[in-house]
Amino acid sequence: MTSPETVTWLQERTSLGILSSEVLNAIAQVIEEQVIPAETDLVSEGTPPEALYILVEGQLESNSTNQTNPALACGFLPGAVIELKELLLDELTPFTITTVTDCHLWVVPGDKFRELATQYPEIAQAFSRQLAQELAQATSALGYEQERSVALRPYLVTKAQRGIVGTSRYAVKLREQIRLSAADRKSVVIFGEPGLEKDNIAALIHFGSPKRREPIIKVNCGILQTSGADLFGRAGGKPGLLEWLGEGTLVLNNIQELPEELLPAVTQLLKTGTYTPVSRSEEATPEPRPSKARILIVSEKTQPIIERCIGQIIKVPPLRVRKADVQAQVEYYTSLYIRARGVPKPHITPEALRRLQSYDFPGNLKELKNLVERAIVQAEGANELTEEIFWPAETKKKRFRVNLLNVYPRLRRFLRSPWWPDRINYGFTATAFAIIVAVLFIGPQTRDRNFVLNLFWAWWWPFFLFLFPFLGRIWCSVCPFMIYGEITQKLSLWLWPRKLKRWPREEAEKWGGWFLFGLFTLIFLWEELWHLENTAYLSACLLLLITAGAMIFSAIFERRFWCRYLCPIGGMNGLFAKLSMTELRAQQGICSASCTTYQCYKGGPQKGEGMETNGCPLYSHPAQLEDNRDCVLCMTCLKACPHRSVEFNLRPPGIELWTTHVPRTYEVALLFLLLGGIYLHRLPELQSWLRLQLDLTQFWQHLGLSLLVLIIPAIFTFGAYSLLQVFNFNRKPRSFVELAYGYLPLVLGGNLAHYLRLGLGEGGRILPVTFATLGLSGEQLPILVAHPAVIAFLQGATIIFSVLMTILLTQKIAKQPVRSLMAQHLAAIALGVSMWAIIVF
């Protein structure tokens, strides 16, 4: 390149262009051309400058050991002048410069450049002017940054507190959403319940983005001026936060508290990326200004107007659905606290962890953090954090529960043993049932001479009716019907290996309840019209028919399909079990946090202390049970669970009926059928009380009256509900299906009062009746029967107590004043009076 071309290139491409042509021509005369290969150190840090370098082609980069000044590490492009300041000021080179590619350089040796600087003072003067300009620019920039820092400092977020802790699918999904949101500049809405540290998620998005070096500020929407001046600034006046922020990130915290006056302006900012500074009313509206800031919105509620303008939405899951992360969160908060306080790290016991996992944490992460910190303080340097140290409040669902398995460890051992219920069922019940049916067929046919009839009507019915409020559906765990159903299922699979059909759940849920209702209706009519109570072979036929149903459906479907959906006795047991003061449940937190196999539901091999089982015979998960209807207390889940999640709780009787209960129409139909059955069992007494002159020896008259007796109580109660609707002007009552469950104690009490006569009057004659069954004389054998007055007293007390419980339960379900439910309460009293008339007298 000739000297004039060199001068022109220096003028146009380098910072030396401020020098005169004469000086540039003198420099051009002493230039030496060099080509330096890639990855070669051109100058070294801390050494005197050897020459002036001008980069013509290629790329250089600098590196420095000075970590406090990141500006020393930079790149150089063609036109860069290197070592100028060091040569003029006689300084050491502050950094090492290395060639990134093969570089074409113009080199002016150091001694020659110093001679030129001495010969031409213009070089030093031009350099001084350039330094002065750069200093002025730096001073101006520093002033701006200081003013910007002062404006942003109250809102500045300096760092993210932590990442997302945990390994659950919710935590994994949340981390992926944060990563995707950090990769672009779209606006994001982050919403969820209080205490989830959503503002920290906003910080994670910012500090994971390419603009992480830009500032991030958090503004609480509740303190913004309604004019918006602090956010958007004033036209011709003080800048707003958006202008100061530049390309940084603005976090609008608690957007639900944003003043309504600002909603249009914020919507405009999100939609168009522009904002309009605030102006006085007499001034012209200023032009909208573009904003380069990224907007992140934090909210505790969904905001449809805002969300329609947003590119991405992140829903932060509450801690109660992330129970698998509770242990990791506890470990994290424990580590934070002990690091800050310098105390030894305590170990959390498994029982304490299960306690935390069973709690729903309405305050979410903040509440958990407070609990952990308080527990460490309460531990006072102990090595363990035990269950007693943590004090989470009990949820409504867990309130007033006592786990009997913890109170009585021997009970746990028995229920987990082979005795319950397998050895009882297959070692005793299966054999005893076959003998019972045989005796009913071949023995005497009346109740005073057949001990099996005495057992069934005078012992079984009153005993299990009395047991329902205490142990719910426990009869179904030793029920002979399903024992023979299971035997049939096993034998059929052995003789004909195949895969049993899956349950048609949708159809069964829809029609199964009505099937057992119809079957129970036929049983009631059969019992009344053909005197099953005093006819042995007919009672045997009834038992065999129910057993046949269990066997047939067990040969077709998996597990106990008949028992859950179709058995009439099971339907009655499930209905009365709702009143039980005990329940089998599992801790939802432990199940969701620790369980991955669902052995209690599906079955599986032994795991930990969990035994090998085939899973719940009714396909019920103990953590998901709404009430006692679908639990037969077989304890399969207790045996299968390796995490000690299953509980056998003492609780307020029937508590789910006024808390979490889901009403079903077919259950209400069965309830009123059982109510009508009380009157059907007392048909002669009912005729006498009503002074009816019907001949019950006539089949059709008997049948017609029986059907009326089954139907009328339901009509009567529905009439009482209609009066509620007519006279209750102030508030709308709950639906009839919901309130009907209030009659459940009366139905149970009425049936128990009926069978008390048989239990206390005939049950004690079991020894002479047994001898009579065998053809022997048992007249001298002892009997134990109650006086008729005692029986009448107990029957009356049972009915009175049942009426009171019905009124109380109705109040609990309805949650309305007594006056609003007076019609239903009077109906319950009237039904109680009628039962007294036909049962006690």
- Percent pLDDT > 70 in the chain is 93
Three-class SS of 753-767: HHHHHHHHHCHHHHH
Q: Output the six-digit token pair for 246.
A: 């530049």
- Percent pLDDT > 90 in the chain is 41
H helix or E strand, kind and range, residue 680: helix 665-681
**Domains in the chain, ordered, with CATH?**
3-134 (2.60.120.10), 169-279+286-317 (3.40.50.300), 321-389 (1.10.8.60), 402-658 (no CATH), 665-840 (no CATH)
Outline where 84-240 has alpha helix (H).
Answer: 84-89, 110-119, 122-152, 169-182, 198-207, 229-232
In 304-365, DSSP assigns E strands to 312-315, 347-348
Q: What is the dihedral of CA 630, 633, 634, 636, to 10 degrees?
A: 80
Q: Output the six-digit token pair for 307.
A: 């969300």
| pTM (two decimals) | 0.66
Residues facing 278 on adjacent strands: 234
Q: Per-residue pLDDT for 696 more than 50? A: yes
Q: Tell me: the pLDDT tens digits for 233-261? A: 888 778 888 888 888 899 999 888 888 88
Highest-scoring range by mean pLDDT, 354-358, 589-593, 659-663: 659-663
- The CA–CA distances, whole Å, from 10 to 5, 81, 99, 148, 266 equal 9, 10, 21, 38, 51
Please tell me which residue, 105 or 801, carries the higher pLDDT value. 801
Give the integer Cα–Cα distance in Å for 245 and 820: 61
Q: Per-residue pLDDT for 560 more than 70? A: yes
Quote the distance between the C-alpha of residue 625 and its chain's center. 15
Q: Tell me: the pLDDT tens digits for 707-748? A: 999 999 999 999 888 887 766 655 667 889 999 999 999 999
Classify burial at 774, counting beta carbons within 10 Å of its beta carbon; exposed 0-12, middle 13-18, buried 19 or more: exposed
Q: To the nearest whole number, what is the mean pLDDT of the chain?
A: 87
Phi-psi region of 197 (alpha: psi -120 to 50; beta: other; left: phi over 0): left
Give the integer Cα–Cα distance in Å for 448 and 266: 88
| 415 within 8 A of 634, measured Cβ to Cβ | no
Q: Output the six-digit token pair for 736.
A: 């009839």
- The edge-to-edge listing of strands for the beta sheet with 103-109 is 32-36, 103-109, 51-57, 81-82
Q: Output the six-digit token pair for 288.
A: 């909208």
| 607 within 8 A of 596, measured Cβ to Cβ | no
Give the integer Cα–Cα distance in Å for 180 and 151: 31
Q: Both ends of the chain: CA-CA distance in Å?
A: 131
Question: Taking Cα atoms as reference points, which of 21, 381, 15, 397 lies closest to residue 6?
Answer: 21
Task: Find the range with the poorest average confidence among 59-63, 539-543, 596-600.
Answer: 596-600
Count of alpha carbons within 13 angstroms of residue 411, beta-carbon side: 10
